[in-house]
Every structure is written in structure tokens, then in C-alpha cells.
A and B are shown apart, each in its own frame.
Chain A
Amino acid sequence: MTAIILERVVIERGPLRLEGDLRLGPGLHAVTGRVGSGKSTLALALAGGIRPAAGTVRLEGIGRRLWVGHDPVVHLTGGTVAAEVASWRVEPDSLLSSLGLADRARDDPFHLSLGMQKRLVLGCALAARADLLVLDEPFASLDLPARARLERALTARDGTTVVMTHADRHLPPGTTRWRIEGGRVRPEGP
């Protein structure tokens, strides 16, 4: 059983201030909110990239946390596509075949299109089997078939998955929904 629990947490970043009491248990959670409401900041805070100004973040049954930003370029560290997959501690051959990138294994990942980079990074993150996976705008830059595949992968994943998104029409049934409004993260119900 995995969960991340935020108790009276306050996150501050420049002029932005977010407050929330939330428990994100196993399964898929989606956080929505208008542009600039703090979704990306919350994503980084959940993954441990930002320390809250106040309150407590507790992890239950969570060892590895992974965050994937909306721009895949920030994640690229490998000199080739295969090396990039290996840098996530994932076996490249089978993953690249399933992503349709087997013929690009020796290419520089910076030479892939934005959509391919996004598929590559999301594929690696999903295959890395993190206990907590936080995805910031994962549906952006993906074509419709890739979005459908991502929906299925998110549903099938074990552990806790949190998605920050505008595209809530792509979320599968049963997703627990949260909304950021007026600087507070509130539950919206399933």
C-alpha cells in the first residue's frame, strides 16, 4: 500500500503560495487548475524537488519517487536513445520496440521530434517502476494513439500515480480528482 500524505503543507515559490491537506493513496490521481495555479510546483514538491515552507510530507510504502516534467528535454542525459533508456535503469531493447523507436536506438535523443522525446521519457518513467510517479502535463505533445496508450499504462500501473493536467477528458474512469483553486488543493471527487 503506497501513499503520500501532505499535512497542513504550505509551498511557496516566488509570488505563488499553495496550501493543502491531502492523502494520495494507491491508484491514479489527477490535479487540475488554471494556468499558473501551481500544478507544476505541486508536482515538484510531491516528488521531493521542492521543500515545503511549512507542514509535513509523509511517505507510506514509497521508496522510489519519480517526476516527469512537461518538457521532456530536461530529462535527457544519454548520448544515444538506447543510452537514455539505460540511464533510467531500464533495459533498452524491449522498451524501444514497444515505443516504436527501435530503429532510432543509436540516434541522439536531442534529434528526435518533441512527440518522440515525450514518448521516450514517459515510457522510461513508466518502465522504471517507481512507487510514486508524478507526471506534469503528460498528454501534451502526444498524438491520439500515444494518448490512448498512455491512458492504458496509467490505469495498469501499481503504486501511486499523480497527473497534473489540463486534458482531464483523457483520464480513465475511477481517477481521483483534485483541483487547485485560490491557492488551495481541494478534492473534486471521483
Chain B
Amino acid sequence: MKDPRLRLLAVAALSVAAFHSVPGALFALLWWLVFGRRTAVPPAVALFLGVTTVLAALAASASGGDGPSYLVRCGAVFVIAAHAHAAQRDGDLLDLGAWLGNRAGCPRAGFDLGLVGELALGSIAAAADDLERIRFAAEQKGSGPVSRWVAVGTALLFAELRRSRDLARNLAVRGYHGGGRHDPVFSSPIADLPAAVAAISVLIAAILAPHEFFILSL
């Protein structure tokens, strides 16, 4: 999907549908199979998300909750999130925020909202690089697993705070005082309409689906 407005709408609908119920999660996964492009998620991230989901499901089961349902629903949410992340292009959030602000009559607030989104996404990429370097640096010293992860957490937090401060200074030095004006131009949304309509249909189906038809129902 090239139009960020429709992509955001689809991702929001699919995420709500997937977390709402097991049928919704299955419908969302079906949508991903039909419309989602192949998403390249680093193996370490996929492993981390997979293990986290399974552990959370086991914990839910052990505490009397519905572990299998949680596993399917959260798994589907992660798949949709990975698809959204892979489909994201630089400037999408700024375009989206500015468009929303322009439509709502508050262009400066929309610009700020979009800029915050872009900066947040940029910092995620930078944090992933930092994480790799901090982990390797601690490994070189022969730190044990516990102290290694404590070091990773501390250094990562500090590095992100310093990057944010430096970025804020750079913006201020270059005359940014909040808000701006941007009139984004989007490619024709016609090609994205089927995927967007299908995503809304998934949400409606998830809400209306008779849960008893499914083996893994809530």
C-alpha cells in the first residue's frame, strides 16, 4: 500500500480485529497473506517476538487465562506490526500528520505531530544499531548475562537521551520553534482501495463473527 493514509487505516483496523478475537486474528492473517508484501524481519527480532509471545501465553495459561487465544491474537498483531514497519517510507508520518492537521484546520499541530512520529521512527532504527554495539562491547569485556543486560539497558537509555538532547539543540539552533506548514501530495489511492476495504471488512467480520464456529474461540 503506497498511500500512508489508507495504510494507517488498514493497520489500525487489522490490529483491533486481531486483538479482539481469535477469528479476527485469523482474518487479519488471511488479509496479510493476500495483501501484505513479504516482510523482511531480522531473525533475532522475530525470535525475540516469538519467544516473548509464547512466554506470555504460557503465563496466561498458568494463571488461569486463555493462553492459546492470547498466542494467536498477539502473534497476528506482531505480524501486522512487522508488515506496517516494512511498508513504512521516510516522510510518511510527516505527510500524514500534516495532512490531518491541514484537514482539521490546525496545520502547525499536524506538522508537529508528524515530525514527532518521524523522529520516533528514526530513533528506533538508531537504537537498534546502538543495541548491537552495546551488546558486543559488553561481550568483549566478558560480562555475565545479567550484568550484560543491565549494561545494555543503562547505556541504551543514556545514548537515546543524549541523541534526543542533541537533536533538540540542532532544531533550536536552526530556528525551529514548533509547527510548520507542509502540503503533502499523495499518489492515487485507487490502487490501495481493495486492501483498505478488505481490512475494514476484517474488522467488521471480527466483531460480528459467531465465535462458537471456531475451535480456538475466546
- Could you tell me which A residues sit within 8 Å of B by CB distance? 44, 47, 49, 65-67, 69, 71, 73-77, 87-89, 110
Question: Contacting A77 at CB < 8 Å: which of B130, B136, B138, B162?
Answer: B138
Chain A residues lying within 8 Å of B162, measured Cβ to Cβ, are 73
Query: How many of B's residues come within 8 Å of A, CB to CB?
Result: 17
The list of the 7 closest CB pairs from A to B, nearest first, reads A77-B151, A49-B136, A74-B133, A74-B134, A75-B137, A74-B137, A73-B159
Q: List 13 A-B contacts (CB under 8 A).
A: A44-B136, A66-B140, A71-B130, A73-B155, A74-B134, A74-B159, A75-B137, A75-B155, A76-B151, A77-B141, A77-B151, A77-B155, A87-B141
A67 to chain B, nearest CB (A): 7
The chain B residue sitting closest to A130, CB to CB, is B140
By secondary structure, the A interface counts as mixed
B156 to chain A, nearest CB (A): 9
| CB pair A76 B155 closer than 8 Å | yes
By secondary structure, the B interface counts as helix
Interface centre among A65, A87, A88 (most CB of B within 10 A): A87
- Could you tell me which B residues sit within 8 Å of A by CB distance? 130, 132-134, 136-138, 140-141, 143, 147, 151, 154-155, 158-159, 162
| CB pair B141 A88 closer than 8 Å | yes
- Give the CA-CA distance A77 to B142 in the complex, in Å: 11
A83 to chain B, nearest CB (A): 11
- Give the CA-CA distance A74 to B147 in the complex, in Å: 14
| CB pair A77 B147 closer than 8 Å | yes
- Give the CA-CA distance A47 to B140 in the complex, in Å: 9
Chain B residues lying within 8 Å of A44, measured Cβ to Cβ, are 133, 136
| CB pair B141 A71 closer than 8 Å | no
